[in-house]
Amino acid sequence: MWGGRFAASPAEIMEEINVSISFDKALAPQDIRGSKAHAAMLAEVGIITKSDAREILRGLDQVAAEIQDGSFEFKRALEDVHMNVESRLKEIIGQPAGRLHTARSRNDQVATDFRLFVRDTTDAIIPAIGELQRVLVEKAEAHAATVMPGFTHLQPAQPVTFGHHLLAYVEMLGRDRGRFVDARKRLNECPLGSAALAGTSFPIDRNKTADVLGFDRPMANSLDGVADRDFALEVLAASSIAAVHLSRFAEEIVIWMTPQFGFITLSDRFTTGSSIMPQKRNPDAAELVRAKVGRIAAAFQGLLMVMKGLPLAYSKDMQEDKEATFDALASLRLALLAMTGMVQDLEPVKETMRAAAGRGYSTATDLADWLVRELKMPFRDAHHVTGSIVKAAEDRGLDLENVPLDVMQAIEPRISNSVYSVLSVENSVKSRKSYGGTSPQNVTKMARAWARRLEKESAGR
Ligand code: ARG
């Protein structure tokens, strides 16, 4: 491509470090889209002839078809996807192919291709998040009154409902979705026409190419146009946070699946056996979702480090933006799909959850609240009295709801029989009607509101 100046071929090791076709061939569809938009615009403003443009478009369609059907031969010697496509175009249509690269550089070309790729992937991730939310909401509504222990420090804290727990993830995923939607808005500006770095002396129409490629507008500064990778960083940051959420949830599935907890069952569809221990059922899918955050967050860190300290405008360093980004976005999508499948598949073991919810004096706060409400005790004093009653229960090996009245009265004489009404886990969750609280009534209401919102969001796309 630059034989005019160069007499010798690159050293073998130069080619080895420089070549990117093995991974940037993934950008071929975006590259061809970008080239078609560029060629059409060049003809429209009279920089190339209409007949040359027709040839170019026809040739690019054939290249796309060859890539699609697998007959296209990607060549290492041609370095990257841009030169592979252009060189094949030349084989197909001859001389007009040489006019395609007018008023363009690989710098704005790759910036456009990569941006389109990240946008396309974002457009697939957003509904995948919505679908995971949808199945969570469905399960949450079905289990709005299924009682389970709520934890802090992974110690039983207060009873909650399974539906409430699932809706917590719906909230997190809602913020994740918002981050992707937000990043998409900001990334939707077109670098094409920035050329190598300074713009071009040809009378190109950047609004035209931006529009054809679905961008809101052309990027306003040509140096920024070729040097910016914020769009990938933002989407990777959003991906990292989403992956952290999935990882936390996956960890809970792993814990809940253990015989020690026994809170949920997952069917054969989302578990594996052991090659040596016949009794095992392993939550491999959850474990892998839990782990994916490693590569996703690493991709974010990796690209931050690549971009750090790079002078304007383009440097070849930026070729290192692709592999990890491709991998991270594919991994996130896979993790979302696997999680969606697991949520649909899992079933809570209600009796086990219910029994566990009652252990560990989980309604002690309800007792303290009763003392405040009925006896007008200051909360701090109520906390102290409740502590003594818990100790008495512990000494006798009893749950709170089974501590005899006289034992409680020995600690606080004004306690009456009505205290038992707040000591059951069902009554405990029912009473938590404050906004955002775990009462089945709240959970049902929230689940229905989310279902409506998700339906609107998916219709709005
Ligand atoms: N393969 C290159 C990349 O991914 C394309 C841009 C090459 N530009 C250049 N000036 N060498 O960044």
Residue 1, pLDDT score: 67
Query: Do residues 173 and 132 lie in contact, with contact meaning Cβ atoms separated by under 8 Å?
Result: yes
Q: What is the pLDDT of residues 243-278, one digit of tens each?
A: 999 999 999 999 999 999 999 999 989 988 878 887
Candidate of 81, 107, 312 to mutate for ligand 1, largest count of ligand atoms within 8 Å of Cβ: 107
For ligand 1, whether the C-beta of 117 sits within 6 Å is no
For ligand 1, whether the C-beta of 20 sits within 6 Å is yes
Separation between Cα atoms, residue 303 and residue 236, nearest integer Å: 9
Angle (CA) 385 387 388, round 5°? 65
Active-site option among 9, 153, 201, 275: 153
**Mean pLDDT, the chain, as a whole number?**
96
Residue 23, pLDDT score: 98
Active-site option among 22, 267, 274, 388: 274
331 is catalytic: no
Separation between Cα atoms, residue 418 and residue 131, nearest integer Å: 45
Q: What is the pLDDT of residues 107-131, one digit of tens each?
A: 999 999 999 999 999 999 999 999 9
Kindly list the distances between the CA atom of residue 313 and the CA atoms of 38, 107, 163, 191, in Å, as whole numbers in the listed order: 22, 9, 51, 13
Query: pLDDT confidence of 11, banded at 50, 70, 90?
Result: confident
| Other CB atoms within 10 A of residue 11 CB | 10
Please say if the pLDDT value at position 461 is more than 70. no
Radius of gyration of the chain (CA): 30
Q: What is the pLDDT of residues 316-361, one digit of tens each?
A: 999 999 999 999 999 999 999 999 999 999 999 999 999 999 988 9
Candidate of 1, 316, 326 to mutate for ligand 1, largest count of ligand atoms within 8 Å of Cβ: 316
Query: Do residues 223 and 312 lie in contact, with contact meaning Cβ atoms separated by under 8 Å?
Result: yes
Helix 81-93 × helix 50-69 angle, to 10°:
120
- In single-letter form, the type of residue at position 444 comes to T
